[in-house]
Structure 1
């Protein structure tokens, strides 16, 4: 409980931090770091009544001092009726947001198995809430001067974190060093960076930008190997490595084109471009690299067949999630728990909804499985599956939110899916990323702040831990 109170106090200070020294950003960062340190060191064993009283008084004093209230206003979701089988509409039942620990689901309820009960006993019976008790601030990075739109830990790596920012730079941080530090800030774009991705072996990175270029970086030498202009001279809004062939990168631009680029040659192969329409904000591939999903700012998701030899794209299925509400993030997962072994997509839609879709067939067709209310209407909010497939009942996802909070949602729970809420950002949370063993979670916001959170390990004895495979 002490850690939760620390977050609440930290969140109050973070909200007012921009008013403390508007012309001295370095001081603001130093203040909030020191404040976090003091909260960790001096909040043990205090009475809960005193804590609540302190929070109320501090909030009042800060409001009087700076003459502004930084309380977060609520956002009400809207209901849009379904018009055809190819459209998904937001239900009036999901008007409550995760901060109230409520959600609505469709009829596809997952039934836990007896095997899951047995496995849960093997690992010590810890609950999913205990398993995702990220409570403490591990480190705060502030090297960026504008919103950090995307975060990505390197593949199978605990330490290296990539941050893409609207200030036109990409940074790589080492979060487990003592102390954590920024290894390099990569400068090659002339405008805001909208996306980034690691190659499978982490030796290369790709980034895309509003300056209509895509940059290929060598991580070891920290040099830009190639700069490729968009073939339509359009803003590039999303990018990722083809998982089965890292010579190829898939990108989406502001003119609605999904494009394939051979980064070894700098050539766009014939047949490797397909028109989606709108602005292509989100991309995701399955593990084989043969299925691709792309989402745009019109609320549409289209699946494509990717020819691994030629790079040719062929359209398969089209789904309108919520008309004219941008799809800002798509994540693919082969399976999410023992009870749900279907391929699944996690989709952020700027209609105050986080969607979970079941992948129905080899053409990438989607069926609505669950939906969760999340504060999301205007920003590039992203989400992620928790990387470790737990043997416990339940499965978790983490999403950013425009109410400045980070939410952990148990996507298999019918009631009160929110198992944890992190408070510490002072503006909309955009990016979220786990390192591979779930020991650290990184979150970023619209002002450029990156917070790395550490997990409080569940209490299990060593004998129980040794039997967990």
Structure 2
């Protein structure tokens, strides 16, 4: 079934360099979104051969009418002809391999130089796209990883939360310029970076204690916040109204929150035990329409839960605790029911302060991965694997990066547009007051860039959807927005 959307994506990728020549990140995002939609469509079943060939011919004809023939001289403005030729050659080989009756069904295509129809498929050597990923490099603008993450300097500095730590910054989904920041001063600020000069649109007030986490709904029409005052609040960011307040019946502080990706009516909360030594270490699913806990939507962990995230499919909920373990739960997106799946100790005697899940949405490296900030002093990248016999998700360590992490709840993130590049980056805050970029494909000298400018420990980092801006916040209440050099 995957063969159909792979070939459709190949047709679209051929014309990737023609779309918005001055904005290569948009071309990358388009192909990535197209890939996700085609994957979902393929689950409904593979069309018969005649229908597939007819669709491919019509799609190619429409693209040619819109952007011109691929052989037109000079039509690929701003990109080298060699890069586009390499892209076409690689994709042609991929299509030939897919159509070859001798090729095993369901096998991954080889993108290696010199591959031919009928050749055995090759497994990518690592978790990131290989150096021979010509098509991917062309889609991303054929720039190096260092060029991609070179920054021209500070775009803007927000200090509305002065003297109170900002533990979370988050850009709105698919919006380049809308940013939310939560603070231990008990407020959430919604900021607009453009058009016009950057400004704080509104400050959301109502919590009686520090706000530990904030998350956007998929449509960006709702913000959810978790506070140390033992309440969850839903906000309308457009006008600053508090839509709903949900209190924990036992008065336990709330540390984290997240929307269920497939059902934004469900929010997962982390509860802190009300007293030291309590055995109540819980994750709980709440229906935000009713304010009530979902039936079966609670799970217990061995330690005090500090971080959580969903995988992209919304099937697995990951939770990290202060005993250095990461637990997984299977989540029903319709009912919110949680089923305990697995537990892995990744940092014995330490604590897990941040989790970020993502899958490389590319032909070269489709591996699902989990990024973990583990105190003390480690940033860990795991490959998510299926445990034999049980089907439960497990973790296999891929890379470990040194960081300065002893006391603060540091956060990290994947760079959002890494899928179609040679190499891939992750970004993390650090207690040395710097923002660090690491190339997950390098065995040595993994640091790609380091941003200096904060006056305290950098607690959180977040990219906008096209990587043109990066926001970072620190323990002194300062939020710095950095502008990428090639944006």
User: Normalising to structure 1: TM-score of the pair?
Assistant: 0.72
**Partner residue of 1:328?**
353
Cα distance in 2 for partners of 1:184, 1:124 equals: 37
- Structure 1 stretches lacking a partner, 5+ long: 1-107, 459-469
Cα distance in 1 for partners of 2:142, 2:265 equals: 45
Cα distance in 2 for partners of 1:236, 1:377 equals: 22
Once the two structures are superposed, residues 203-235 of structure 1 have per-residue CA deviations (whole angstroms, 9 ceiling, x without a partner) of 001000111100011122210011111133211
- 8 Å CA contact 2:128–2:423 kept in 1: the answer is no
- 8 Å CA contact 2:127–2:367 kept in 1: the answer is no
**Partner residue of 1:237?**
255
- 8 Å CA contact 2:310–2:316 kept in 1: the answer is yes
SS in 1 for 2:341: strand
Cα distance in 2 for partners of 1:322, 1:404 equals: 23
Q: Per-residue deviation at 1:308?
A: 2.1
Q: Per-residue deviation at 1:338?
A: 5.2
| Greater RCO (Cα-Cα under 8 Å, separation 6 or more) | 1
**Partner residue of 1:259?**
284
Q: Per-residue deviation at 1:114?
A: 6.0
Q: Per-residue deviation at 1:112?
A: 5.5
- Corresponding position: 1:280 with 2:280: no
Q: Per-residue deviation at 1:273?
A: 1.1
Q: Per-residue deviation at 1:339?
A: 3.9
Among candidates 189, 202, 205, match of residue 187 of structure 1:
205
Once the two structures are superposed, residues 281-317 of structure 1 have per-residue CA deviations (whole angstroms, 9 ceiling, x without a partner) of 1111112212100011111110001122321111000
Once the two structures are superposed, residues 129-157 of structure 1 have per-residue CA deviations (whole angstroms, 9 ceiling, x without a partner) of 00110231000000003000001000000
Once the two structures are superposed, residues 53-95 of structure 1 have per-residue CA deviations (whole angstroms, 9 ceiling, x without a partner) of xxxxxxxxxxxxxxxxxxxxxxxxxxxxxxxxxxxxxxxxxxx
Off by >3 Å, runs of 4+ in structure 1: 108-115, 121-125, 336-339
- Corresponding position: 1:308 with 2:333: yes
Among candidates 218, 225, 228, match of residue 200 of structure 1:
218
Among candidates 379, 392, 397, match of residue 368 of structure 1:
397
Among candidates 135, 144, 150, match of residue 152 of structure 2:
135
**Partner residue of 2:475?**
446
**Partner residue of 1:358?**
383
**Partner residue of 2:322?**
297
Q: How has the CA–CA distance of structure 1 residues 205 and 118 changed in structure 2, closer, same or farther, with 3 Å as cutoff?
A: closer
- 8 Å CA contact 2:415–2:426 kept in 1: the answer is yes
Among candidates 381, 386, 393, match of residue 422 of structure 2:
393
Once the two structures are superposed, residues 314-368 of structure 1 have per-residue CA deviations (whole angstroms, 9 ceiling, x without a partner) of 1000011112311111001011765431100000011200000111025221111
- 8 Å CA contact 1:431–1:443 kept in 2: the answer is yes
- 8 Å CA contact 2:128–2:422 kept in 1: the answer is no
Q: How has the CA–CA distance of structure 1 residues 414 and 457 changed in structure 2, closer, same or farther, with 3 Å as cutoff?
A: same
**Partner residue of 1:430?**
459
Among candidates 321, 325, 343, match of residue 318 of structure 1:
343
- 8 Å CA contact 1:291–1:363 kept in 2: the answer is no
SS in 1 for 2:147: helix
Q: Per-residue deviation at 1:177?
A: 3.2
SS in 1 for 2:471: strand
Cα distance in 2 for partners of 1:111, 1:317 equals: 26
User: Which structure's CA Rg is the greater one?
Assistant: 2
- Structure 2 stretches lacking a partner, 5+ long: 1-124, 274-280
**Partner residue of 2:18?**
none
Among candidates 174, 190, 194, match of residue 192 of structure 2:
174
SS in 2 for 1:211: coil
- 8 Å CA contact 1:442–1:453 kept in 2: the answer is yes
Q: How has the CA–CA distance of structure 1 residues 405 and 337 changed in structure 2, closer, same or farther, with 3 Å as cutoff?
A: farther
Cα distance in 1 for partners of 2:190, 2:237 equals: 9
**Partner residue of 2:238?**
220
Q: How many residues align?
A: 351
214-223 or 180-189: bigger deviation: 214-223
Q: Per-residue deviation at 1:110?
A: 5.2
